[in-house]
A and B are shown apart, each in its own frame.
Chain A
Amino acid sequence: MVACVLSATSCKKVLDTNPTDRVPFDNAFSTPDYCLLSLNGVYDAAQSGPYNGGTERRGYPFGAANIEQGDCRGEDVINLAAFFQVTYQASYNSTAANCVAFWDNCYGLINKANVSIDGFKDAGGKGIITAALATQYEAECRFLRALAHHELTIHFARPFLDGAGAKDGVPYRSFAIASPTALEQIRSTPRPKVSEDYTKILADLDFAEANLPATYSTATTKTTRANKAAAIALKMRVKMHMGDWAGVITEGNKLVPATVTPLTWTSVASPIGGWTLTSAVDGPFTNNSSTESIFSVKNDAQDAPSVNGGLAGMLGSATIGGRGLVAISPIIWNNSAWKCNDKRRTALYVTGASNISTTNLSYFTTKYRDYATRGDFAPQIRYAEVLLTLAEAEARSAAVVSQRAIDLLNTVRNRALQAPAAEQYVIGDFADKVALVKAILLERRIELLAEGKRWGDISRNVMDANYTTGGIPAKAINGANGLAIYNCGGTYTPGQAAIPVTDFKFIWPIPANEIIQNPIIIQNPNY
């Protein structure tokens, strides 16, 4: 006590310490610069959150992991290592790390978006940033919120078309939770129906479309921040899951000119944002910010998923610096409807060593190329997807075989053909519109292969008698390798049995921790 009297200030100083590695909550929206930083932080949450509660970042939810899982749930890749084996073999349970991490990080992103939305509104109200900028930032957050909720829906809930959205959906979080009190609110909110999720997703996307800029000034942010075309394109994807083909066409026509000239695919440009296919099939991958990369999640050498999550390492061949953990499956590779001389087969795929063999080679994608520093952007929406989505909607909506659908399909496919003029699809190639839709669906598998889109297509088509896979399709057995299994046009018998859509494993379990901490959320059956 004597000492403290002698040096009263030093006693006080001992206790008066403050963090130096983070700013107080109230500061985070106190200047325009802080507001922008807080917006970037929401994008960061889309890029990388913690894996399994640890400090490692594997690119959950959208930095890499949704791509890797979206493919590993389907049949067009072969899993070669332990990382996604549980996903690939559908042996997940309610504590399986990959399913848990995806759920956890999607909601982490959603809450950061919601907390920041409040901050932006507040800053806009106080005049710290303009009202217009506050609304734009909010729109960016709501775009990400919609993206996350939609991915959650397709993994953790039955498809929309299973009972027209009447099945249990995923919790939709639309307010900030940054205190124990706010937390209590969600504890009385049961799982909504799938249809309610879709309604809210679309509301967010409508807001985003109305308030996002058509483009951004710098070369990288034009792809790595949400823009108007991204919101529209995502709406197309969402409505496609709902089977709302008229809606898809309405949205698609905002991004695709009324007439397209499939033989000069680079001439087909979006009226909003000017998005257009690159001339070469590997254009979107040689340049992360290409003219067709409508929205990608940024990664770079400074900030990327760990070696256990990076796209190039995971999906790339061990011969050229990858780790060779996920290979292309002969199920898609051998498909004769994918022309053997298609440019994509050589420009975007190579044979090479995997993590289990330097002698029994496999086919790997080269879409991702930054093997050492894992800086490939994680593509979420490409203009090619927009064209194929619109093509499918036109094909399904038309009474007969749709020429516009064929034109849109050709726009994408011609880029990959050796002789587009001679080889492109013509109306006579299709016996009926079902055949055309099937061709478009196959083209999606080919064009978007290794971009994580396969599960979405399986999920949305599984209830459609014409296009269903019946469930989780039969796959190559885990670890199948060796060039002998690859043969364009050849046959291949998958060794891992299919799982029917009626099986509970068709959808993922809600993490056990969610159910324990929030018992109002009921578990998916049999988990």
Chain B
Amino acid sequence: MKLLRSSSGAQTVVILSIIVMFAVPKVLSEFGVMQATLFAAVAIFGLSQGFVWGYAGIMSFGQAAFLGIGAYTYAIAAINLGNTQVAGLLAIAVPMLFAALLGYFMFYGRISDAYVGVITLTVSVILFELMNSTSGSQYHIGDAVLGGFNGIPAIPPFAPPGKPDEPLDQIGVWYVAMGALIVAYVFLKWILASRFGRVVVAIRENETRAMLIGYDPRLYKLLSFVIGAGIAGAAGAVFATWGGFISPTVFALTMSAQVIISVLIGGLGTLIGPILGAVAIQYLINVAGMQHTIDPSLGLGIVLVAFVLLVPQGVVPVARSWIARLNWTARTPRANRAKTSEQESRS
């Protein structure tokens, strides 16, 4: 807990999340709890993109690939093994393996950032096509029929250890989802406070300098990419158990776009920003889904363009600097203020 004491912000976030975790089932209806579970799943997904993009500086445009692999792995393993703990662990491990392989080609090929974006995007498109083409009963892994664009129905929800026949109810799944979110957040905070995390951020800031000091940027980027994939896989497992159903649309570009917009809106280089952004965007999509005159993509597209043009840093960093400025204005006498701001603008 030394880590949490060192960062009062993280402490507040964790305490608030725990309050939310126990308050939601008391306050909301069963349908509300189900919606909240989806929000927790997209928040975990947002964390993975927020870490990979905001801290490691890797422009992954296909993070949905890992979400989808995690979700499918969970579904296939849960149906075949009947043990949802093992399925959950596999849903984290398999995307990490895949990311390690893909990342090796990208980072050890020393391709530029933009190419990383294009390749990750391409991979998620190909996975989408691949899963879409698996309709028919000849495509199955063990007992799990892949089902092409119809997806896999009747995925067993999480069950407590040793009691595979007593699956969790909606509220139980919510506790698992929220617990996973808190664990993912604390884990990333811990990583970022460690020596490894500092090197990762240093590489984002200046790759050449970090390399000259003796760190291998390729290895650190690869490891960050793999960690991000694991978290996205966990989000996929929660996502699969939330709906009890998974279809190739998890690989679709809109899924990657949604998480990128979430991180961009929430704020790059923060962890709370992606969480809030993911919840806000998912809420907007839910609201937009209730009417049928205008397609939700139009709204997402306009939001994305508007943020890139007007608020490229995202809401959380902008809000932080406003708060800092307000504090500063309140504390500093008027005469000093002009002088300091002149110095600031020069520096």
Specify whether A and B are partners: no
Residues of B that sit less than 8 Å from A by CB: none
Residues of A that sit less than 8 Å from B by CB: none
